Amino acid sequence: MKFINSFFKTLVQQYDYLIFVFIILLKIYYFSHLTNTVFITLTPLEYLNQFAGWLLNLNEGGQIFEGLILISFGTILLSTFWIIFLKGKLRLIAILVLNIIFSFIILADAVYFRYFGDLISMTVLSQLGQVGDVGESITALFRWSDLLFIIDILLIIPIFFIGYKKDSKSKNKFIPRAVIGLAVLFIGFQLTFIPFNKSMENGGAFQFNKLISNMRVYNFTGLLGFHGADIYRYVNDNYLNKTTYSAEEVKDIDQWLTNENNLLSSEYEGIAEGKNIIILQVEALQNFVINQEINGQVITPNLNKLTQEEVYFDNFYEQTALGRTSDAEFLLNNSLYPTASGSAYMLYAKNEYESLPEKLKQEQYNSTVYHAYNPSFWNRYIIYNQFEIDEFYSKEDFSEGEAIGWSLNDKDMLLESLEDIKSRAQPSYSHLITLTSHHPFEMPEKYETMNLEGYTDYSMRYFRNYINSIHYVDEAVGQFVDALKEEGMWDNTLLLIYGDHSSGLTKDDPAFNAFANTGEEYNYFIEDKRIPLIMHLPGNDQSETINKVGSQIDLAPTIAHLAGIEPSSYWLGSNLLSDAKRQATFRDGSFISDQHAFLAAPDGIYDNGSCFDRQTESEVPVEECREEFNTGIQELRISDKILDGNLIQRIKAMNN
């Protein structure tokens, strides 16, 4: 009886721990709400009723496994049960420290999700050196409602303090605490692994093991479970059991690449042979602003003129993932997919590649990248050597001028880059990467020249900023094109202009939604991914608008085709000017083709995705998209294996 009394007294004294667990669960629920993921499918009372029935084997309780509440609760208990063994001041400190750690993780994930639509992984955290450089953009993503993630830390201190005072005077014994602590551990284990195993049995194992996207893993593990699994995976993959590929596997991949290599021709083959090549990669340029007006004012008059005079691809898509601009560069230079987690520029900076600059170098081209920012950002100063880029003209190489946003304004940056291009040996390959239109798109008042009457609400600020910044960048592009002509370089230059990635404007942005007609799921998916691609072909006087689907992975083979050189057998894209059947495949398995658009479901299960007919824009049975989906997944796997195993190096060694 004495032990029972002691046990119940000790159990009652766990109120501080229960409050702590409840608060963390609420924060995880709020995160689920912000990310529009399923946390619970029943009302609390219905859930408890079904859970009790399942526990007593009175019903199957199937719906209790739908959503993240069980596994979220379980992972909290699993990671905090040891607090019950503590008492006094040490217990108070442990609760406060864990509360701060968990709150920071949840808040960081919420802010990160707003921009990238994903969770922070270990590979991203290994790139923390980049965070200081994106501080302003990150700050712009915070909302006042985010205080809900941290305000309790200060408010709850008095409660803990009172609990500590009482607890410090009590005579709690270790055995009752041990019984309660082990019981919490057991419950946490069951609540974590029963729903997890259910998910694995229902098709989740493939998604979990292949890691097509972090959000798919999150849908099986919950937030804390994701980070636990991610840490385990990172340590395992990079230190304990790094993936290796047998000689037979390498041979099979080499054979697949040989069979898939696309050598289809077009009337433009070799039109730029021996000519200068200039790639103008414009920050966050999306297609919905092209050939459009707002309040009677043309947004991009200079780009519009180019679309009417040159070759314009209006069905072209960005394929970047977490690496954003660096992913766009990676796709351009290597015709391989970006990584599912982190950035290839960081993870695979020591790999061997057969890049576009390397192929051009074999034809006596010299190559330079122009980007008015820190050379260490995204590890550029290291990985450019792997691409055999001859020189990187970075922030320290540009003269001091007016800074807009992150760095030197695009007008000065482009014209100064052109001065350097003129001085270089010919032919040259020049890759210019702009910055002025970077999120959060804020412009000095003197450059806010667009008439944006009707878009003055605070909720429309990013759309308003974006329109002004893109209008300014359009002027910069116009000046650059005029300078090329004045310098007599226009007829001797192959010029490509395209956007690097989406703007980050979401379907919840009222102005973007109304202007770009993104209210429907299909429309938002298309417009969010669509970017313009404009090509000036030297010696070509015919304008043309090409409607066939293309994407960034096709840029390198297309440039090689125009320059009259053979594409690399390690490139996965195809010549945009050929009649090849193409699709734009995205990192989560979604794709856009001429016939279909497929939106992968967050849980990663194919049958839960949505398939649309491109002609009617109506949803059709998901089975109609399966063949193209499988094609895209196969390419993603091959690309991942090439990077993960540094297989270009191994294939070259095998074939020599």
The secondary structure of 79-147 as a DSSP string is HHGGGGG--HHHHHHHHHHHHHHHHHHHHHHHHHHHHHSS---HHHHTTGGGGGGGHHHHHHH--GGGG
Query: Largest Cα–Cα distance of the chain, in whole Å?
Result: 98
Nearest-5° Cα angle at 18, 14 to 24? 145
What CATH number has the domain spanning 271-579?
A: 3.40.720.10
Q: Which two tokens stand for residue 109?
A: 């994930």
Beta strands at 583-585 and 366-370: parallel, antiparallel or unpaired = unpaired
* Residue 24 burial (CB count, 10 A): 24
Q: Which residues contact 373 (CB under 8 A, 6 or more apart)?
A: 133, 394, 395, 406, 407, 435
CA dist 295 and 283 (Å) reads 24
Q: Which of 108-112, 258-262, 493-497, 647-651 has the lowest mean pLDDT?
A: 258-262
Could you tell me which residue, 373 or 213, shows the higher pLDDT? 373
* Domain limits, the chain: 2-205, 271-579
Residues involved in catalysis: 325
Q: Which two tokens stand for residue 107?
A: 């808040």
Asked whether 339 and 323 are in contact (CB, 8 A), the reply is: yes
**CA atoms 22, 23, 24, 27: torsion sign:** positive
Nearest to 576 by CA among 535, 540, 538: 535
What is the rounded end-to-end Cα distance, in angstroms, of the chain?
81
- Kindly report, residue by residue over 405-440, the tens digit of the pLDDT: 999 999 999 999 999 999 999 999 999 999 999 999
- The confidence band for 508, taking pLDDT boundaries of 50, 70 and 90, is confident
**438 assigned binding-site residue:** yes
**283 assigned binding-site residue:** yes
Q: Which residues contact 345 (CB under 8 A, 6 or more apart)?
A: 323, 326, 329, 330, 378, 379, 380, 383
Q: Which two tokens stand for residue 484?
A: 């090329």
Burial class (CB in 10 A: 0-12, 13-18, 19+), 303: buried
Strand order in the sheet with 428-433: 391-393, 366-370, 428-433, 276-282, 493-499, 533-536, 311-313, 544-546
- Kindly report, residue by residue over 27-75, the tens digit of the pLDDT: 999 999 998 889 988 888 888 888 888 887 777 777 888 899 999 999 9
* Residue 452 burial (CB count, 10 A): 18
What number is the average pLDDT over the span 267-276? 96
Q: What is the pLDDT of residue 236?
A: 81
Nearest-5° Cα angle at 640, 639 to 644? 125
**230 assigned binding-site residue:** no
Rounded to a whole number of angstroms, the CA Rg of the chain reads 28
**139 assigned binding-site residue:** no
- Kindly report, residue by residue over 293-339, the tens digit of the pLDDT: 999 999 999 999 999 999 999 999 999 998 899 999 999 999 999 99
Q: In whole angstroms, what separates CA 589 from the centre of its chain?
A: 13
Q: What is the pLDDT of residue 604?
A: 79
**CA atoms 25, 29, 32, 37: torsion sign:** positive
Asked whether 250 and 645 are in contact (CB, 8 A), the reply is: yes
- DSSP secondary structure, 446-469, as one string: GG--S--TT--SGGGHHHHHHHHH
Rounded to two decimals, what is the model's pTM? Answer: 0.79
CA dist 335 and 555 (Å) reads 7
Cα distances from 388 to residues 315, 362, 427, 647, in angstroms, run: 31, 11, 16, 18
Q: What is the pLDDT of residue 252?
A: 93
Q: What is the pLDDT of residue 220?
A: 87
Asked whether 271 and 559 are in contact (CB, 8 A), the reply is: no
SS (H, E, C) 565-600: CCCCCCCCCCCCCCCCCCEEECCCCCEEECCEEEEC
SS (H, E, C) 15-70: HHHHHHHHHHHHHHHHHHHHCCCCCCCCCHHHHHHHHHHHHCCCCCCHHHHCCCHH
For residue 6, pLDDT beyond 80: no
CA dist 200 and 222 (Å) reads 14
Cα distances from 45 to residues 25, 40, 188, 559, in angstroms, run: 17, 12, 21, 62
Q: Which of 81-85, 218-222, 555-559, 628-632 has the lowest mean pLDDT?
A: 218-222
Q: Which residues contact 282 (CB under 8 A, 6 or more apart)?
A: 434, 437, 473, 477, 497, 498, 499, 500
Q: Which residues contact 594 (CB under 8 A, 6 or more apart)?
A: 315, 548, 549, 582, 583, 614
- DSSP secondary structure, 257-277, as one string: HHHH------TTTTTTTTSEE
For residue 625, pLDDT beyond 60: yes
* Residue 143 burial (CB count, 10 A): 11
62-88 burial, b at 16+ Cβ within 10 Å, e below that, comes to: ebbbebbbbbbbbbbbbbbbebbebbe
**325 assigned binding-site residue:** yes
For residue 168, pLDDT beyond 50: no
What number is the average pLDDT over the span 174-194? 92
- Quick one: what percent of the chain has pLDDT higher than 90? 67
Q: Which position has the token pair 């701060």?
A: 100
Instruction: Name residue 352's amino acid.
Output: E
CA dist 85 and 10 (Å) reads 11
Residue 222, sorted as left (phi over 0), alpha (psi -120 to 50) or beta, turns out to be left
Asked whether 506 and 577 are in contact (CB, 8 A), the reply is: no
CA dist 225 and 74 (Å) reads 9
Per the prediction, the chain carries an average pLDDT of 90
